Amino acid sequence: MSLKTRKGFIFVISGPSGSGKTTIAKRLLTQPRLKGRIIKPVSFTTRPKRPGEKQGKDYCFVSAREFDRLLKEKKILEHTRYLGYDYGTPRDSVERVINKGQHAVFCLDLSGAAFIKKAYPDRAITIFVKPPSLDVAKKRILLRSNKTPPEEVYRRMRVAGEELRSAGSYDYCLVNDNLNKVIKEAKEIVRWAIYQ
β-pair type (172-175, 38-39): unpaired
For the segment 37-56, give every residue that binds ligand 5GP (CB under 6 A): 43, 47
Annotate each residue in 158-187 with x if it binds ligand 5GP (CB under 6 A) or - if it does not, as one string: ------------------------------
| Nearby residues of 22 by Cβ (< 8 Å), 6 or more positions away | 107
Burial of 5 (0-12, 13-18, 19+ CB in 10 A): exposed
Task: Tell me the per-residue interface mask from 111 to 150 with ligand 5GP, x by CB under 6 A, - otherwise.
Answer: xx--------------------------------------
Q: Residue from 9, 67, 87, 128 that binds ligand 5GP (CB under 6 A)?
A: 87
Q: What is the radius of gyration, based on Cα positions, of the chain?
A: 16
Cβ proximity to ligand 5GP: between 84 and 168 the closer is 84
Alpha carbon distance, N-terminus to C-terminus of the chain: 14
Min dist CB 84 to ligand 5GP, Å, is 10
Minimum gap (Å) between residue 60 Cβ and ligand 5GP: 10
Nearest residue (CB) to ligand 5GP, 38 versus 104: 104
CB of 35 to ligand 5GP, least distance (A): 23
- C-alpha 137/C-alpha 188 separation (Å) is 24
- State yes or no: residue 19 binds ligand 5GP (CB under 6 A): no
Answer yes or no: are the C-beta atoms of 137 and 164 closer than 8 Å: no
